[in-house]
Structure 1
């Protein structure tokens, strides 16, 4: 009797245990944009203060874009961004004279698929409480500049919105 109970317990423990790495791998394979692995090298390159110097729509110069559900994309020209790479926090501020001023903390990262993940936070709200965010492609990156590329739907066609950043002095 004791022997059969022992065998049952061993069998239950064997089938109840699952490797954490296989669970992580299958989750990442099903949803690559939600990967929790980060591209640390690129994140370190983003560290510091930046100015968004241009917003362009290659092949679609006559569209109007409401960027990040905040303001017209042209209002982002001249905006200042700060990226802290060791804790993935920062801030952004819209300062264009003809637009409504806006300042907010942000949480950001670059996942291992090269996607820039951005959450714009309200004052006093923790990032884990914010469910909405933005995924943008990371374009060319150098010591003094980088690009973020968003895709938008315009009349059933996908168009790029390119945000050009320059390192602030």
Structure 2
């Protein structure tokens, strides 16, 4: 009888202590990550449905300022950097940390100088699509009034 009570108590305790699940799956898609290794350029930024509205991407600049931006992805340690360099747009550069999870989501953080990734609270989750060895797309959701739209960043290998 004591064994049964002990088993029931331990079962209840084990269920009560179940760790929280994260919102973003952190199981990596290493094959997809290896395709990103190297230098890339954003060849276009398109809004699905219309180019009438203006979107600020990643709280940095207008989405169209990301056209021509240069990105480097290092797949063996999930780091990299990006540089905005478009005329008539503010110059910007940052180190990044990133990964692709098994759900097909590209998870990225912009890193401030001297601050480690684990101490950077905010980040971005985008959908990765149409991935080949020479191109891929990152798709972000943007709020437009009471609706939402997709912002598609087209990356091409340099």
Name the TM-score class by shorter chain.
0.7 to 0.9
User: Aligned equivalents of 1:122 and 1:56: distance in 2?
Assistant: 28
Residue 88 of structure 1 is aligned with which of 72, 78, 83? Answer: 78
- 1:110: how far off? 0.6
Q: Which sections of structure 2, spanning at least 5 residues, go unmatched?
A: none
Question: Counterpart of 1:58?
Answer: 48
User: Aligned equivalents of 2:120 and 2:42: distance in 1?
Assistant: 24
Question: Counterpart of 1:43?
Answer: 33
Matched, 1:100 2:54: no
Q: Which sections of structure 1, spanning at least 5 residues, go unmatched?
A: 1-6
Runs of 4+ off more than 2 Å: 14-19
Q: Match of 2:138, SS? A: strand
1:116-161 deviations in Å (ceiling 9; x for gaps)? 0010011111001111000100111011100000011111111000
Matched, 1:75 2:65: yes
- 1:100: how far off? 1.2
Q: Match of 1:136, SS? A: strand
- 1:62: how far off? 0.5
Matched, 1:116 2:106: yes
1:74-112 deviations in Å (ceiling 9; x for gaps)? 111110000011111000000112111111100000111
In the alignment of these two chains, the number of paired residues is 153
Task: Please give the root-mean-square deviation of Cα atoms over the aligned residues, in Å.
Answer: 2.3
Matched, 1:143 2:138: no
Q: TM-score normalised to the size of structure 2? A: 0.88
Q: Match of 2:33, SS? A: helix
The structure with the larger Rg is 1
- 1:15: how far off? 2.2
Residue 130 of structure 1 is aligned with which of 113, 120, 140? Answer: 120
- 1:18: how far off? 4.8
- 1:113: how far off? 0.6
Matches within 5 A, 1:18-33: 18=14, 23=18, 27-28=20-21, 31=22, 33=23
